[in-house]
A and B are shown apart, each in its own frame.
Chain A
Amino acid sequence: MNVPDPQSGLPGLLARPYRFLRLEWTSDLSLLRVRTCVTPIQCFSLAGIAEMQRVLDDISLNPGLVRHLVVSSDVTGVFNFGGDLSLFSLLVRAQDAESLRLYGRKCIDMVWWLETAAQRGVHTTVLVQGDTLGGGLESVMPFHKVIFERSAQAGFPEVLFNLFPGMGAWHYTIRKAGFAVANDMVLSGKLYTAEQLYRRSLVDLVVDDGRGEAALDHVVRSIDPRLRGTLVALQGQRLAAPITYQSLAETVDLWAQAALSLTTRDLRLMERLARAQVRKVGGAEEGALHEIKRIELDTAWGEERTGITEWTTLS
């Protein structure tokens, strides 16, 4: 007689003790809801990544168990600030290329799981109800359905401190919105509203603040009756516009190498952003988004005084 392993299947998946995630199960939809809460600074810490990967691995180990994976944030006003800036700062200062590369690989392992989710029989949806920056936005883009509440803003600020988003930003922005949009977004460091992202085809649905949960329910329930066809179609979509793990990994290697050459000024800017994240955590109205706008202004002011812009430099 086969005795079921008490830690396998749904009980095993839901019973694991998580510090940064909250899991919920909706049985009629076989829907696993993951709420992230990397308090007090919501970013991709190593421990947070490990927990999320554990959930994804558990889903893979139980084929057919989860039909819908839905991710959102439990932190008010923040979906995800992206990479752990203090950890980057530490590793750059130590010139630790290997650890930077391994960090990047852990990130793209999650991206790759989402990229191949349809093959695993899982449809993925993400609800963004607050700021999402850099790696936070990269983590959103591989989902099959991306829902933003109207006040949410996002962008890739890395270029402001001489880095670039290296965990899938180029791949997914190009796939979804084309080269011109990808160039604009990655090379400008600008922030975008939910509506602007929708117009660029990076967001599938924008709803008024507070309406995200209802929209989520509507999206999942409308997909569920045609799930098999949708998943096969999404596999076909990925064949038509392929992204490979190797290409993601090579981009991570380039990112890690670039990070090593950051100067003290670059690290200070990065740390300004980290401090701004802290201020937001402390309840201040102004957070990382305001700091990015300030850095953009500082840069523009520098250009106005010197007459040097990236375009005049190039020409």
Chain B
Amino acid sequence: MALVESTDQARRDFETHPVALAAVADGLSVERYRKLLLELYQIVWHFNPICAAAASRVQDTHRELRYFLYEHMAEESGHEQWVGNDLDAIGVGEAALLQHRPSPSTLALIGYNYWGAERRNPCSVLGMMYVLEVIASVYGGAFASAVRESLLLVGDRGVSFIGSHATLDTEHMVQLRKILVTIEDAGARDAIIESTLVNFEFVTRIFAAI
């Protein structure tokens, strides 16, 4: 409960940001959805290297966490291509994707997560995972439906990443919780809370800027 309670207002601040509210209720215009996926691609692309950086520094006392990260990386491997496919479905080709310069908030989010894993406390990676999985599992399904309706997309075309992670991350939430309860040292717990707050803050800013 400590993590949930300490970070719940940050989750609410994301959920109730006018752009996020409108996106979950009514979807997005194609221009804004393109912008969002372009930023999301960067986050997904850097997810595994950040997890790897964290795994390399996890103490032997947290063996289970290291295995959890290995398994998670294997599952997420190649998922940036799902975002790429969704972008392609809404008219953004590979060349435009590769030329895209991430927004300052995306750079700050990714930069913080590398720094947290490499310099601060490797357990901070769990804060990043918690935020991404909460957003995907709690809001992802409704958001994917709203985007599908607003852009008249058929099936999973254009929403494959968000739609599928809404389901996948429900299982991940259970696994993540099981790992979180094994983290008992105060420094690691503080790092996870800090990371969660920072990640919610920057994801909210990314939404706000699209």
Which residues on A are within 8 Å of B, measured CB to CB? 39-41, 45-47, 84, 86-87, 89-91, 93-96, 98-99, 102, 264, 268, 271, 274-275, 278-279, 281-282
Chain A residues with Cβ below 8 Å from B4 are 46, 87, 90-91, 96, 99
Does B8 make an interface contact (CB < 8 A)?
yes
| B residues in contact (CB < 8 Å) with A | 1, 4-5, 8-9, 11-12, 15-16, 18, 21-22, 24-26, 134, 137-139, 141-142, 170, 173-174, 176-177
Task: Using known A-B contacts A90-B137, A96-B4, A282-B25, determine if residue A275 contacts B142 with beta carbons closer than 8 Å.
Answer: yes
Q: A46-B5, A98-B1, A99-B1 are in contact. Are A93 and B12 (CB under 8 A)?
A: no
Q: Is the CB of A39 within 8 A of B16?
A: yes
Please report the C-alpha to C-alpha distance between residue A279 and residue B170 in the assembled complex, in whole angstroms: 25
Tell me whether B139 and A86 are in contact (CB under 8 A): yes
Cα A278 to Cα B21 in complex, Å, equals 6
Q: How many A-B residue pairs have CB under 8 A?
A: 73
- Asked if A90 meets B173 with Cβ closer than 8 Å, knowing A271-B141, A282-B21, A282-B22, the reply is yes
Query: How long is the Cα–Cα vector from A91 to B1 in the complex, in angstroms?
Result: 10
Contact B8 A93 (CB under 8 A): no
Inter-chain CA distance A120–B76, complex, in Å, is 56
Q: Is the CB of B8 within 8 A of A47?
A: yes
Q: A residues within 8 A CB of B8?
A: 45-47, 87
- For the complex formed, measure the closest distance between the CB of A37 and the CB atoms of chain B, giving whole angstroms: 12
Bound complex: CA A271 to CA B12 (Å): 15
Q: Are A278 and B24 in contact (CB under 8 A)?
A: yes
Contacts of A84 in B (CB 8 A): 12
Q: Are the C-beta atoms of B22 and A47 separated by less than 8 Å?
A: no
Which residue of chain B lies nearest to A282 when distances are taken between CB atoms in the complex? B25
Task: State the main secondary structure of chain B at its contact with A.
Answer: helix
Q: How far is the CA of A94 from the CA of B4 in the complex (A)?
A: 11
Interchain CB contact (< 8 A) of B21 among A40, A87, A96, A271: A40
A94 touches B21 (CB 8 A): no
B19 shortest CB reach to chain A, Å? 12
Interface contact A93-B173, CB-CB below 8 Å: yes
A95 engages B177 (CB within 8 Å):
yes
- Which residue of B9, B15, B18, B173 contacts A47 across the interface (Cβ within 8 Å)? B9
Which chain B positions have C-beta within 8 A of A93?
A: 137-138, 170, 173-174
Which of B4, B18, B139 has the most chain A CB atoms closer than 10 A to its own CB?
A: B4
| Closest 4 A/B residue pairs (Cβ) | A94-B173, A46-B8, A47-B9, A94-B177
Write out the residue numbers on chain A whose beta carbons fall within 8 Å of the beta carbon of B138: 86, 89-90, 93, 271
Give 23 pairs: A residue, B residue, CB < 8 Å, sorted on A. A40-B18, A41-B15, A45-B12, A46-B4, A46-B9, A84-B12, A86-B11, A89-B137, A93-B138, A93-B170, A93-B173, A94-B174, A94-B177, A96-B1, A98-B1, A102-B5, A268-B141, A274-B142, A275-B24, A275-B25, A278-B21, A278-B25, A282-B22
Docked Cα-Cα span, A40 to B13, in Å, equals: 10
Complex interface: chain A residues within 8 A of B141 (CB) = 268, 271
Residues of A within 8 A of B170 (CB): 93, 264
> Chain A residues with Cβ under 8 A from B16's Cβ?
39-41
Look across to chain B and name the residue whose beta carbon is closest to the beta carbon of A271. B142
Contacts of A268 in B (CB 8 A): 141
Q: A143 vs B140: C-alpha distance in the bound complex, in angstroms?
A: 38
B33 shortest CB reach to chain A, Å: 18
A90, B142: Cβ atoms closer than 8 Å = no
Closest B residue to A280 using CB positions:
B25
A281 to B15, CA, bound (A): 12
In the complex, which of the residues B5, B15, B174 contacts A95, with contact meaning CB atoms closer than 8 Å? B174
Name the residue on B nearest A278 (C-beta): B25
Q: Are A47 and B137 in contact (CB under 8 A)?
A: no
Q: Given the complex of chains A and B, what is the CA–CA distance between A89 and B26 in angstroms? A: 20
Among residues of B, the one whose C-beta sits closest to the C-beta of A100 is: B1
Minimum C-beta distance from B4 to chain A (A): 5
Point out the residues of chain B lying under 8 angstroms from A47, CB to CB: 8-9, 12
What is the chain B residue whose CB lies nearest that of A43?
Answer: B12
Beyond the given A274-B142, A278-B24, please list 14 additional residue pairs across the A-B interface where CB-CB is below 8 A. A40-B21, A46-B9, A84-B12, A86-B15, A86-B139, A90-B11, A93-B174, A94-B174, A94-B176, A268-B141, A275-B142, A278-B25, A281-B21, A282-B21
- The one of B9, B24, B177 that contacts A45, using a Cβ cutoff of 8 Å: B9
Instruction: Point out the residues of chain B lying under 8 angstroms from A96, CB to CB.
Output: 1, 4, 177
Which A residues are in CB contact (< 8 Å) with B134? 90
Q: Which of A40, A93, A279 gathers the greatest number of chain B CB atoms within 10 Å?
A: A93
Distance from A283 Cβ to chain B, minimum over Cβ atoms (Å): 11
Residues of A within 8 A of B11 (CB): 86-87, 90
Distance of B102 from chain A, by nearest CB (Å)? 27
How far apart are the CA atoms of A47 and B7 in the complex, in Å? 10
Q: Within 8 Å CB of B26, what residues of A?
A: 282
Q: How far is the CB of B46 from chain A (nearest CB, A)?
A: 24
